[in-house]
Amino acid sequence: MLEIIRSSDTKAIGKLLRAKSTTLAEAEAVVRPIIDDIRRRGDRALLRYAKKFDHLDFAKTGLSVSREEMRRAYREVPRGFVEAVRVAAANIRKAARKQLPKPWTCTTSAGVRVGQIIRPLERVACYVPGGRFPLPSTVLMSVIPAQEAGVSEVIVTSPRPAPAVLVAADLLGVKKIYRLGGAQAIAAFAFGTESVPRVDKIVGPGNRYVAAAKKLVAGECGIDFIAGPSELVLVGGRGNAEWIASDLVAQAEHDPDAVAIFITPSLKLALQVQAATREIVARLELPLAALALAAQGGIIVTRNMAEAVDLVNRLAPEHLTLFEGATSLLGQVQSAGSIFLGAYSPVAAGDYASGTNHILPTSGAARLRGGLSAADFVKAISVQELSARGLAGLEKAIVTLANTEGLKAHAYSIQARSSKKGAGC
């Protein structure tokens, strides 16, 4: 189960930190020929890989989901599901609206005005994995920010969309749902085929082959980020051991490669959490979670909270919970995908309905950016307008810099508009 490690055991901590790192090299070698094949042969290659990897026969099912299938899906979701989606969607939508950048203008010098305008992307694809669990929450987290950004066409794609996925997409007004997954789906939307439109951006989580495919097409199609196995680091000096353990087990439930780490200065609490974790896994019968906790889980006992926050910043985790005795560390946290403050802020709240996004950077990428937001679906375009007086005021600086770089035509384009035409060339 969860091993307890002293912070002085640098070898054990180093091993735990490395456990969260994943390499895409092997996956890239597998998916590169798939991507190249779909780029060259379009639908013929796409259909072959969909049949080979996802056992899909589009002659029987169709490439996209029909309205009849959508209607049937409503009869298969549990009671209360539609209302739950509406509650979660309302909160996610409120948060997404706040995430959008604003247009602005300012005067940088006399006669010179600069600013930015905001324009949405035209078409995006939201990837929803079709693995062990249905993921309607991923539909909400990817579609709603795109809609709030003003994207004209939002597409959902999933290899085997569960009824809950279909209903969630329909409730959000998604018009097109494709029955595609894996690297072949990423390639199809990145380049376009006879049956699949090319998109401006692909977002959403997936397995390592999906992540590798997103990395390989990123030069030609926008992506959110390359995500690996899910991660949680929980820091606390006191609190309910069962609550802490339940959060760690919930994280481990995602995937056998999921990372779940508890950092505390209290050996007593560490032992209590270790025991509670074992009891919860046995009671809920979660063998895959047990594997994840044994392989990538751990409890680190630190000398103090300063040491704990240093470890957090080294890990740059996808999810960070600052439990009781640790919430004051927020100002010292430099890198995390999403932060949960206090005993009543479990990660599951953000996974579903609090309003923040659960599509987050992993494997240390939180050092570079936060989670998916409405801002990922717009372009901030710079605008400038100079009067004759404004250009004259900048002429000397511009001409000097242009000539220093050896770009004579740049300098001339300024001088041609003034009485000093040709000077300095």
Same domain, 407 and 274: no
Look-up of token digits 């801002």: 375
Which of 291, 215, 172 has the alpha carbon at shortest distance from 35?
215
Same domain, 215 and 91: yes
Report if residue 56 sits inside a domain. yes
pTM for the full predicted model: 0.93
Mean pLDDT for the chain overall: 94
H helix intervals, 223-327: 241-252, 267-284, 287-296, 305-315
pLDDT at 316 over 70: yes
To the query of whether residue 319 is one of the catalytic residues in this protein, the response is yes
Report if residue 190 sits inside a domain. yes
pLDDT (tens digit, 9 = 90+) per residue, 120-153? 999 999 999 987 788 999 999 999 999 999 999 9
Number of Cα atoms under 13 Å in the Cβ half of residue 276? 20
Same domain, 314 and 416: no
Report if residue 147 sits inside a domain. yes
Given 315, 338, 355, the domain boundary residue is 355
Report if residue 111 sits inside a domain. no
Token pair of 351 as six digits: 């996974």
Same domain, 130 and 182: yes
Report if residue 350 sits inside a domain. yes
Model confidence at 351, pLDDT cuts 50, 70, 90, reads very high
Q: Which domain covers residue 425, as residue numbers?
A: 387-425
Pairing mode, if any, of strands 378-386 and 222-223?
A: unpaired
Same domain, 180 and 72: yes
H/E segment holding residue 149: helix 136-149
CATH number at residue 293: 3.40.50.1980
Residue 60's CB: how many other CB atoms inside 10 A? Answer: 6
Same domain, 54 and 164: yes
Same domain, 164 and 279: no
Model confidence at 257, pLDDT cuts 50, 70, 90, reads confident
Same domain, 141 and 219: yes
pLDDT at 245 over 70: yes
pLDDT at 425 over 50: no
Residue 421 vs residue 370, higher pLDDT: 370
- Count of domains in the chain? 3
Token pair of 191 as six digits: 């380049």
Report if residue 295 sits inside a domain. yes
Please pick, among 148, 231, 254, 319, the residue that the annotation labels catalytic.
319
Pairing mode, if any, of strands 378-386 and 338-341?
A: unpaired
Residue 291 vs residue 13, higher pLDDT: 291
- Residue 18's pLDDT is what? 66
Report if residue 378 sits inside a domain. no
Please pick, among 318, 358, 395, 405, the residue that the annotation labels catalytic.
318
Given 339, 355, 371, the domain boundary residue is 355
pLDDT (tens digit, 9 = 90+) per residue, 4-57? 999 888 888 877 766 555 567 889 999 999 999 999 999 999 999 999 998 888
The predicted model gives 234-241 an average pLDDT of 97
Model confidence at 338, pLDDT cuts 50, 70, 90, reads very high
Given 210, 225, 240, the domain boundary residue is 225
Same domain, 303 and 291: yes
Cα(95)–Cα(215) distance, rounded to whole angstroms?
Answer: 28
Same domain, 234 and 218: no
- Residue 420's pLDDT is what? 59
To the query of whether residue 76 is one of the catalytic residues in this protein, the response is no
- Residue 12's pLDDT is what? 85
- Residue 17's pLDDT is what? 66
Burial of 153 (0-12, 13-18, 19+ CB in 10 A): middle
Same domain, 74 and 162: yes
Report if residue 60 sits inside a domain. yes
pLDDT (tens digit, 9 = 90+) per residue, 74-94? 999 999 999 999 999 999 999
Model confidence at 423, pLDDT cuts 50, 70, 90, reads very low
The predicted model gives 334-343 an average pLDDT of 97
Same domain, 283 and 411: no
